[in-house]
Amino acid sequence: MKAAVITFPGSNCDSDIARVLSDFYSAKVDRVWHKDQFSEKYDLVILPGGFSYGDYLRSGAMAPFSPVMKSVKEHTDRGGKLFGICNGFQILAEAGYLPGALIRNRNLKYVCKTVGLKKASDSNKISGKLGKDQVLRVPVAHGDGCYFASEDIRKQLKDEGRILFLYADENPNGSLDNIAGICSPDFKVSGMMPHPERAMNPITGEMDGKTVLDLVIGA
């Protein structure tokens, strides 16, 4: 597998996800700076977590205008997979790849904790493979993670099986309908607020993040 991890000014999880892809999937990983473009055909492009451009304007709002996003669009136009984690999810929403917006947590506080995730339906081509009552434990770390979208959009996401994950035991940020992640209509683009790369440590036994990445990569 060949993968690209995009690094913006303020990205701080790019090294983590690059190492995970290399160590657990034997992937050839290229780190791509936001000012650069690429012509390489990748199996997967990842927008990592962090605070792109310092989140000074709005979380993820400036990154869509980076030169590298031209190459990202060419990648998705070819049918390549694109996955956004936390700030990467915010960027996908701001860039119009995914509907809705990620707004300030309802408690107005930064939240950093492990939460439960479950599938929304069997019809999701990525997470639908999970067991009916299976709950994955994956950390979140964000201040702007509340998923917001109109009722019509949320109904469409549900009807089309495009909700990637739901918060299972508690909703850490007030996301509408407990939505933790969503997908594009063709399921090639997906984003989620929790960090699967932070739940992939055999020493601690926290490995549910690998289940998440297995699903995303294998879809």
183 belongs to the catalytic site: no
Q: Which of 34, 75, 142, 195 is catalytic?
A: 195
Angstrom CA distances, 115 to 23, 35, 168, 202, 212, stand at 25, 34, 8, 19, 14
Q: How many CB atoms lie within 10 A of CB 122?
A: 11
Q: Which of 13, 86, 146, 183 is catalytic?
A: 86
146 belongs to the catalytic site: no
CB-CB contact of 102 with 111 (8 Å): no
Q: Which of 13, 142, 146, 197 is catalytic?
A: 197
For 72-79, which contacts have Cβ atoms below 8 Å and span 24 or more sequence positions?
A: 72/6, 72/45, 72/47, 75/4, 75/41, 75/42, 75/45, 76/188, 76/189, 78/41, 79/186, 79/188
Q: Which residues pair with 148 in a beta bridge?
A: 101
Looking up tokens 């993670």 gives 145
Looking up tokens 């998705």 gives 76
Q: How far apart are the first and last CA of the chain?
A: 14
> CA-CA distance, 119 to 110, in Å (whole number)?
25
74 belongs to the catalytic site: no
> Among all residues, which ones are annotated catalytic?
86, 195, 197
